[in-house]
Each structure stands twice: as structure tokens, then as C-alpha cells.
């Protein structure tokens, strides 16, 4: 048989190991998948939908009220008031950081990108970061950093529920909530380091009313 009559053999294949494929998944893909997984639960229960809308709508005012009413409570009122002032500063600083971020990042809402189903009225604000997550996690972190663990734990539970609700109702990506939580926690840490208990300004503020 001449060389021309020979049939070219296929290249050898590896046995026992599948051919490698491009399995790289971007962070955006993971973000979208997580967002859809949570938002995809909508519609299964009208009661749960209503609860999530309710949590999202009134959570921040309720948590602020829960913080404010403690101004006149507790045996160690001076320390408690210091923590409350630090919490308020963390809250405001976190939201201020968000406004700075919005000067550079303009992310569309997931419902505008066809990612989520919206249960409430649309927002004109950019999606990243979540102000709700910033506000609630700033409160929780401030209490935990100041060793008020019991209250801090319940505020943390509330913050997590708020974050989930924002994704559930379709107004945020998961990463928006994580970013908001990060700015809130960062603000609380910064305030904890800079605003010291017992300073002149602290004694003045905590003596009011």
C-alpha cells in the first residue's frame, strides 16, 4: 500500500479526562444568578411578597426610631447616648460615602436591565450602592463595635432582612446590597476610631435633654 493510500489517523485523545472548556464565570454572572435566585421567589406567595415590600418600605424609619427612643433609656445613660450619637454619625457618613460613589458609578437598576421583576414603583436613582443596606448595616455595626451586642445582633438581623427584601422586590442586585453594607460598616468603623467617648464634644452632646 502506497503512502497515498493510507488514511490519516485522528489525533490521539486523552482517556479519563474531558477536554478542557472555558468555564470562567464572571462576577457579574454570579451577581445576576444570585439576584435572579432571590427575585425569582416572587409570586409564589402573596403574603411573602407583601411582607418583603413592607420590610423594604418602612424598615429604615423603624430602625432609626428604635435607635432614637433609647436616648432616655438604660442604666448607663451616658455611654448609651455616646453609642447613639456614634450610630447617627455612622448612618450619615455611610450615606455621604454613597453620594460620592454615585459621582463615579451610574449602574442601572436590575429591572431596567431585564434581570429582575419589580414589585414596587421604579426608582430614578442609580442602583449601586443600596442606601437601605448602608443605613441598616451602619446602625448594626455601630452597636456591635461599641459592645452593645444584644441590640447589635437584632439590628444585624434586621439589616440582613432589609438587604434580602431589596433584592426580592427587584430594585437591587445582590452586589448593590453588599456594597451598601460595606460602606455602612466602613463608616461605623471610621466613626468608632475618630469619635471618642468622654471628649468635650461628646460630653456636650450626650448631656442634651
Whether 192 is a known active-site residue: answer no
Determine whether 172 is an active site residue. Answer: yes
Closest by CA to 135, choosing from 97, 81, 78, is 97
Q: How far apart are CA 74 and CA 180, in angstroms?
A: 30
129 and 166 in contact (C-beta within 8 Å)? Answer: no
Residues 6 or more apart in contact with residue 129 via CB below 8 angstroms: 98, 101, 176, 177, 179, 180, 182, 183
Distance CA 201, CA 203 (A): 5
Kindly name the residue from 82, 132, 146, 192 that is annotated as catalytic: 132
Residues with active-site annotation: 132, 172
Amino acid at each position: 500500500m502506497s503512502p497515498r493510500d493510507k488514511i490519516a489517523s485522528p489525533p490521539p485523545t486523552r482517556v479519563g479526562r474531558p477536554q478542557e472548556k472555558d468555564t470562567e464565570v464572571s462576577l457579574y454572572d454570579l451577581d445576576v444568578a444570585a439576584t435572579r435566585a432571590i427575585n425569582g421567589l416572587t409570586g409564589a406567595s402573596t403574603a411573602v411578597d407583601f411582607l418583603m415590600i413592607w420590610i423594604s418600605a418602612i424598615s429604615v424609619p423603624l430602625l432609626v426610631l428604635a435607635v432614637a427612643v433609647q436616648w432616655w433609656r438604660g442604666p448607663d445613660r451616658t455611654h448609651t447616648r455616646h453609642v447613639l450619637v456614634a450610630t447617627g454619625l455612622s448612618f450619615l457618613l455611610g450615606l455621604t460615602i454613597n453620594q460620592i460613589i454615585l459621582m463615579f458609578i451610574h449602574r442601572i437598576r436590575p429591572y431596567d436591565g431585564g434581570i429582575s421583576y419589580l414589585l414596587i414603583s421604579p426608582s430614578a436613582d442609580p442602583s449601586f450602592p443600596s442606601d437601605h443596606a448602608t443605613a441598616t448595616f451602619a446602625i448594626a455595626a455601630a452597636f456591635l463595635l461599641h459592645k452593645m451586642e444584644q441590640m447589635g445582633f437584632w439590628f444585624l438581623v434586621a439589616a440582613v432582612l432589609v438587604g434580602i427584601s431589596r433584592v426580592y422586590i427587584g430594585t437591587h442586585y445582590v452586589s448593590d446590597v453588599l456594597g451598601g453594607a460595606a460602606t455602612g460598616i466602613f463608616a461605623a468603623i471610621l466613626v468608632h476610631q475618630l469619635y471618642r467617648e468622654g471628649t468635650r464634644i461628646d460630653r456636650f452632646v450626650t448631656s442634651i435633654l
